[in-house]
Amino acid sequence: MQLNFNSPKPIYLQMVDEVKKALARGELSPGDKIPSHKEQAQMSQVNPNTVQRAYQEMEREGLTETLRGQGTFIRNDPALLARIRSEMAAQAVQHFIDEMRGLGIEPNETERLLRERLYKGNEEV
C-alpha cells in the first residue's frame, strides 16, 4: 500500500483509494479477505485508529463487509468492480480536464492532444 504522508489528502482516504486501485488492477477480488486492523496498521506503519477509520469508510461506501469473528472482506458484489473502475476513471478524467483548463488550453485543443496521444501510445510527439 503506497501512502503519501506529505499529501494533503488524509491517510485513511488514501488507504481507501489504494484498496480501490488494487481491485481495479485485479490484485484484489470480490470476496477476498483483507488484513485485520492491527495487521494493516503494522504493515502501513500508521495508527490503528487510522486503519479503523479507513475500514469504516470502506464499509460505508459498500466496498467491504465485516463478518463477526471472520474478518473484513471485499463485498462479494458482481457490480462492484465495474462501479469502482467507473468512479476512478471519472475522477482521472476530471483531474485531466481541470489541469488542462488550469493551463488555459481550449477544449478542442485538449481533445486533439488527447486523441493524438491515445493513438500514438507512449511515443513522444
Q: 44-64: buried (b, 16+ CB within 10 Å) or exposed (e) per residue?
A: bebeeebbebbbebbeeeebb
Q: Give CA–CA dist 121/54, Å, rounded.
A: 36
Q: In which band, very low, low, confident or very high, does the pLDDT at 125 lie, cut at 50, 70 and 90?
A: very low
As a residue count, the chain comes to 125
CB–CB of 27/75 below 8 Å? no
pLDDT for 16 equals 95
Is the pLDDT assigned to residue 109 strictly greater than 90? Answer: yes
pLDDT tens-digit series, residues 6-52 = 888 999 999 999 999 999 888 999 999 999 999 999 999 999 999 99
Is the pLDDT assigned to residue 122 strictly greater than 90? Answer: no
Q: Give CA–CA dist 67/76, Å, rounded.
A: 12
pLDDT for 90 equals 94
Mean pLDDT of the residues in the chain: 90
* Dihedral (Cα; 86, 89, 95, 99), 10-degree rounding: -140
